[in-house]
A and B are shown apart, each in its own frame.
Chain A
Amino acid sequence: MAINRRTFLKAAGLTTLAGVAGHAAMELLAPGALEASGAPKVGEYPEALTAKRWAMLIDTEKFTTAQVYQKCIDACHILHNVPHIPGDQEIKWLWTDSFKHVFPDQQHALVPDRIKNQPFLVLCNHCDNPPCVRVCPTKATFKRDDGIVMMDMHRCIGCRYCMAGCPYGARSFNFWDPRPFIENIDPYYPTRMKGVVEKCTFCEDRLAKGQLPACVEASEGALIFGDLANEDSEVRRVLRERYSLRRKPSLGTTPHVFYLI
């Protein structure tokens, strides 16, 4: 049987139409039935804390003694199996630094003594425009929709571009196997291995189960955590009332850790 171009095009057109219409009809009449039915489903915990944009406020007036800082730092470092390595190869998720290092642009000769001599709590700023994410060649570090700058340790190749990119020094490299430097390993949080970079994750695994970050819980109100996109949230209320600073805002990274002065 000979087939000419006209018949062929007609048949091809009808076949395409039937395919598209058939699929559309199936989707309309029985949504989802074409995909593997009864397949296992994954989801979030119903009690998970969610936000459009997570942010943290650090009330510097409430951090009056070294113990308060240490409580937050210990809560974080013990929970996340952060090793204690002395010297310049230290690993830190949450630590303190002086005013002139934390806010170099704000430093001048007449800064009040309270501010000048007070240590400031510092951590990953979970920037809106994170340089670490831009430079990561494997997408091991990435920004989630809720603003958290996350680490996927399985993908990190230890190139340390992110450490060069981060203007806040928030990232630490594991020069050694960290396990010998951890006093009591919490088996329910993985340690890291030699050759990966780590940092604060805003306790995203705790948020997923409805708990606030460990440092916020330990801080007795000195740290406030919430949704910056929600006008009625506590973080927004406090930011309306109190003056706040962010670290190195001129770099355009838009950090989301605010210091209440």
Chain B
Amino acid sequence: MYNAGKIIPGLVIFLGLVTFPFWSNLGRAAFEAPELVFPETEEECVESGDWMRANHMILLDDWRDLAVRDNLRLYSSETGKRFDMSLTKTCLSSQCHANKDTFCDRCHDALAIAPHCWDCHVVPSIGEE
């Protein structure tokens, strides 16, 4: 091999950098889903819990576009229950996820996600967030 003295150390450095996320996390605690505080009184979410965990952002996105652009604001779920398509009036209402800190933020913070929702939407129970 020509220039082995440069290529092999170069490859070693390259592989080291590429695998940085793996070896830098060695020995650290594995990711644990944060403990969430669920509503006390309300049993049923808009859709099933598993579906909401995976798709709540899509649902909220759809609600946003339907309400603002198509003026459709009433949502009937799979179970036939009706909901006002509103983040503050439905999801964050006092019967449901009134406390954003112990519900929304716990997961978002753990996953380093910063949604823009609260730049404008206000959390009713806290007032100005």
Residues of A at the B interface (CB closer than 8 Å) are 38, 40-45, 81, 142, 144, 150, 152-154, 179, 185-188, 190-193, 204-205, 208-209
Number of A-B contacts (CB under 8 A): 61
B residues neighboring A (CB under 8 Å): 47, 64, 66, 68-69, 71-78, 85, 88-89, 119-124, 127-128
Give chain B's interface secondary structure class.
mixed
Instruction: State whether B77 touches A40 (Cβ < 8 A).
Output: yes
Distance between B2 CB and nearest chain A CB, rounded to angstroms = 54
Do B127 and A41 touch (CB < 8 A)? Answer: no
Given contacts A41-B76, A43-B76, A45-B74, contact A187 B69 (CB under 8 A): no
Q: Using Cβ atoms and an 8 Å threshold, which residues of chain B touch A38?
A: 78
Do B71 and A204 touch across chains, with their CB atoms under 8 A apart?
Answer: yes
Question: Are B68 and A188 within 8 A (Cβ)?
Answer: no
Cα separation A190 to B64 with both chains bound (whole Å): 12
Checking B71, B75, B78, B89 against A208 with a beta-carbon cut-off of 8 angstroms, the contacting residue is: B71
Tell whether A154 pairs with B64 under 8 Å between CB atoms, given A42-B76, A43-B76, A187-B123: yes
* Residue of A with least CB distance to B76: A41
Among A150, A193, A208, the residue within 8 A (CB) of B120 is A193
B69 contacts A142, C-beta separation under 8 Å = yes
- Cβ 8 A contact of B75, one of A40, A150, A193: A40
Residues of B within 8 A of A188 (CB): 88-89, 122, 124
Find chain A residues with CB under 8 A from B122 CB.
81, 185-188, 190-191
**List of B residues within 8 angstroms of A192 by Cβ:** 120
Q: Which residues of B contact A186 (CB under 8 A)?
A: 122
Q: Is the CB of B64 within 8 A of A179?
A: no
Cβ of B52 to closest chain A Cβ, rounded Å = 12
